Chains A and B, each alone.
Chain A
């Protein structure tokens, strides 16, 4: 088959397929009425919901913990207080990074050349892993917030050892995940298991695009 025959084939292919596809759901006029030119209105509802829940959590828990620190530090259970403070701080950091990433993704100029734009998008999407790493760091404090002085002084030694083992395990897992959740490990089984959920698919797919991009760039 020569080049011209191929291009003729392509033309006829498109003409026929065009007939089979009704053109768009909304017409151009409807789109100009949509408020897509600002950050918030361009976001998907699920992302807005995630941010709102995060803000509520950090706002309520943050206020409560701060009040306890200021007004009732001596009477409060210190295990709860420090566990909650660590939890809310890590959540706040993750939330700020998440919002910052969304803003950066929104600001990417999609009319730049394909490779350049895709590279930026992949880097930004992959950095969502940082949010997961930070959130996972709070694992140990979920095993310490209910401790209290009397439990340590009078508790059953067997239960205390078990409790200690659980906390140490959670700490080890959290630190290990913090250092090992990275693009280089994207093909490892544990990584696939951890990020197998559908909401992580865009991130994982973006990472898979890296190899394709490298090959394409280098000829």
Chain B
């Protein structure tokens, strides 16, 4: 009973402290607000389901990214073709950037568009790269070698540079 209570408290603290991870993953994988809410909910359920198995040899953020990205990729596939891309990009961006100047707005739009065009695994890599995770941690989360992470991150950066230089 005490364990159960501790687990509940631990879960609530984790969610409160790391909700940003859930939000960012949902944002990258779902274009639709409704889907995002559902995905965040599903990630929370899976975290709760897995909490008793948490192994502290992993960093909490590594563990949370693994769960969140695994759920997101499965969830995204499940919903692909149903509601994907139901909100046009510019509509979504304009909703959040009313007060921004047009240059920044344009940059944000380009970044959003770029991420949206990536495949499921590159999206995960891009997110971890933007979140300034080390190559070793990215490798640990994704399950690929550190050198593979470096190669892929380099490629994505080049693509990104090209995109921004073409459009600016």
**A111 touching B66 in the complex, CB below 8 Å, given contacts A9-B111, A201-B81:** yes
What bracket does the count of chain A residues touching chain B fall in? 35 or more
B134, CB-defined interface residue at 8 Å: no
Inter-subunit contact A17/B96 (CB<8 Å)? yes
- Which residues of A lie under 8 Å from residue B37 when comparing CB positions? 21-22, 24-25
B85, CB-defined interface residue at 8 Å: no
Chain A residue at minimum C-beta to C-beta distance from B24: A14
A206 CA / B71 CA spacing, docked (Å): 13
B46, CB-defined interface residue at 8 Å: yes
| Shortest distance between the CB of B39 and any CB in chain A (Å) | 10
Interface residue from B120, B144, B164 paired with A212 (Cβ < 8 Å): B120
Inter-subunit contact A13/B143 (CB<8 Å)? no
Inter-subunit contact A29/B144 (CB<8 Å)? no
A99, CB-defined interface residue at 8 Å: no
How many of chain B's residues have a CB under 8 angstroms from any CB in A? 70
A19, CB-defined interface residue at 8 Å: yes
Inter-subunit contact B96/A113 (CB<8 Å)? no
Chain B residue at minimum C-beta to C-beta distance from A106: B49
Interface residues of B, Cβ cutoff 8 Å to A: 7-8, 11-12, 15-16, 19-20, 23-24, 26-27, 33, 36-37, 40-41, 44-46, 48-50, 52-54, 58, 63, 66-67, 69-71, 73-74, 77-78, 80-82, 95-97, 100, 104, 107-108, 111-112, 119-122, 124, 130, 132, 140-144, 148, 151-152, 157, 160-161, 164-165, 168
Interface residues of A, Cβ cutoff 8 Å to B: 1, 3, 6-7, 9-10, 12-14, 16-26, 28-29, 31-32, 34, 36-37, 42, 109-118, 121, 198, 201-202, 205-206, 208-209, 212-213, 215-217, 219
- Which residues of A lie under 8 Å from residue B48 when comparing CB positions? 31-32, 34, 36-37
4 A-B pairs with least C-beta separation = A113-B143, A205-B77, A115-B143, A216-B121
